[in-house]
Structure 1
Amino acid sequence: MSLDTVVEDIREEANARAEDIRAEGETRAEEIESAAEADAEEIVTEAEAEVEREIEQLREQRLSSAKLEAKQKRLEARRDVLGEVREEVEAELAALEGDSREELTRELLEAASSEFDEGDDVSVYGRADDQALLESILEDYDGYEYAGEYDCLGGVVVESDQSRVRVNNTFDSVLEDVWEDNLQEISNRLFEQ
């Protein structure tokens, strides 16, 4: 065997080995490329799913926020309407005249007088516009006298130093009690729930 033949055999063997390495490299590159494409598809699919979740979450948040804002506006409107109704009731109470005003004032004074002992010196306060009415009513009560004005819609505030008692029987205090006790019913009637 000649040196040329040995060189040729080594060359052929090296070429064959190089061809095998190249074929293995191509196969490995195809495997890596295929795996990378699969990974990329999975990443894209996961990203799309995450974007969809975020969109849905954002939509839910905005929907909840809009519902809350609408509810707050409804409640605010209801509060405004209830406030207007209350103001109208107060205006009607302040505007009561004649027998109706006298009858209510007498009832409130009578209810307050049960808190005081006979013989007590009792001071009665009331709305400035009701002074003449109160002085007229107080003529029927021994030891009771008009003591001055009290900022209210009507009715009386009655007190005595002897019994250390003060009774607020104003239209305002009665309205407050009635309003608080019946607010739910008033609201239901106004808004028909």
Structure 2
Amino acid sequence: MSLETVVEDIRDEARARAEEIGAEADERADEIIADAEADAEEIREEREAEVEREISQEREQRLSSAKLEAKQARLGARRDVLEDVHADVEQAIADLEGDRREELTRELLAAAADEFDDGATLRVYGRAEDQSLIEDILTEYDDATFAGEQECLGGVVVESEASRVRVNNTFDSVLESVWENNLKAISDRLFDDQ
């Protein structure tokens, strides 16, 4: 074998080895690229899922906020209607006249007087416009006098000179008691809540 043949064999071997290394490098590069593409796809899918979760969460928050706002607006409107109804009832009570006003005033005075011992000296207060009505009713009571004005829709406030008891039997106090005790029923009837 000649030197040239040996050199040629070495070259052939080197070429074959270079081709083999190149093929291995190409194969390894293809694996790296495939792994990188798979990782990129996984990252993209995770990010898409995260963005979808954030969108869904934002949508839920906005929907919840809108529902709360609507509920508050509805409650505000209901409160306004209830206040209007209350004001209308107050006005209707203030406008009571004649026999009905006298009958109610008598009943409230009698109920208040029952809270005191017999023979107690009573001072009765009432609406300025009702002074003559109250004084007429008081002619039926011993030891009871009209003592002055009370800012109210009507009715009476009675107190005893001998005790610290004060009975508020005004139309206002009766209305507030009835209103508070029946507010749910009033609301249900006005707004058809069942």
TM-score, length-normalised on structure 1?
0.93
| Counterpart residue identity of residue 124, structure 1 | V
Q: Distance in 2 between matches of 1:140 and 1:123?
A: 14
Unaligned stretches of 5+ residues in structure 2? none
Aligned to 2:34: 34
In the TM superposition, residue 4 of structure 1 has moved relative to its aligned partner by: 4.0
Aligned to 1:67: 67
Q: Distance in 1 between matches of 2:3 and 2:105?
A: 139
Unaligned stretches of 5+ residues in structure 1? none
CA contact (8 A) 1:116 1:163 kept: no
In the TM superposition, residue 15 of structure 1 has moved relative to its aligned partner by: 2.6
> What SS is found at the alignment partner of 1:123?
strand
Aligned to 1:90: 90
Aligned to 2:183: 183
Q: Distance in 1 between matches of 2:123 and 2:22?
A: 116
| Counterpart residue identity of residue 141, structure 2 | Y
Identity %: 70
> What SS is found at the alignment partner of 2:158?
strand
In the TM superposition, residue 3 of structure 1 has moved relative to its aligned partner by: 4.3
In the TM superposition, residue 6 of structure 1 has moved relative to its aligned partner by: 3.9
TM-score, length-normalised on structure 2?
0.93
| Counterpart residue identity of residue 17, structure 2 | R
In the TM superposition, residue 113 of structure 1 has moved relative to its aligned partner by: 0.5
Q: Distance in 2 between matches of 1:161 and 1:17?
A: 125
Q: Distance in 1 between matches of 2:7 and 2:149?
A: 131
In the TM superposition, residue 71 of structure 1 has moved relative to its aligned partner by: 1.4
Q: 142-151 or 103-112, which moves further after superposition?
A: 142-151
Aligned to 1:173: 173
Aligned to 1:104: 104
Structure 1 runs, 4 residues or longer, greater than 6 Å off: none
Matched, 1:43 2:43: yes
| Counterpart residue identity of residue 168, structure 1 | N
In the TM superposition, residue 106 of structure 1 has moved relative to its aligned partner by: 0.7
Q: Distance in 2 between matches of 1:173 and 1:96?
A: 16
Taking the TM superposition and a 5 Å limit, the aligned residue runs for 1:139-158 are: 139-158=139-158
**Residues 19-68 of structure 1, C-alpha deviations (whole Å, 9 max, x = no match):** 22211111111001011111111222222222222222222222222122
In the TM superposition, residue 90 of structure 1 has moved relative to its aligned partner by: 0.1
| Counterpart residue identity of residue 95, structure 1 | D
| Counterpart residue identity of residue 69, structure 1 | E
> What SS is found at the alignment partner of 2:80?
helix
Q: 2-11 or 77-86, which moves further after superposition?
A: 2-11
CA contact (8 A) 1:117 1:163 kept: no
Q: How many residues align?
A: 193
**Residues 86-107 of structure 1, C-alpha deviations (whole Å, 9 max, x = no match):** 0000001111111111110110
Q: Distance in 2 between matches of 1:18 and 1:152?
A: 111
Aligned to 2:10: 10
Q: Distance in 2 between matches of 1:94 and 1:25?
A: 101
Q: What is the RMSD computed on CA atoms of the aligned residues?
A: 1.5
Q: Distance in 1 between matches of 2:93 and 2:172?
A: 9
| Counterpart residue identity of residue 45, structure 1 | E
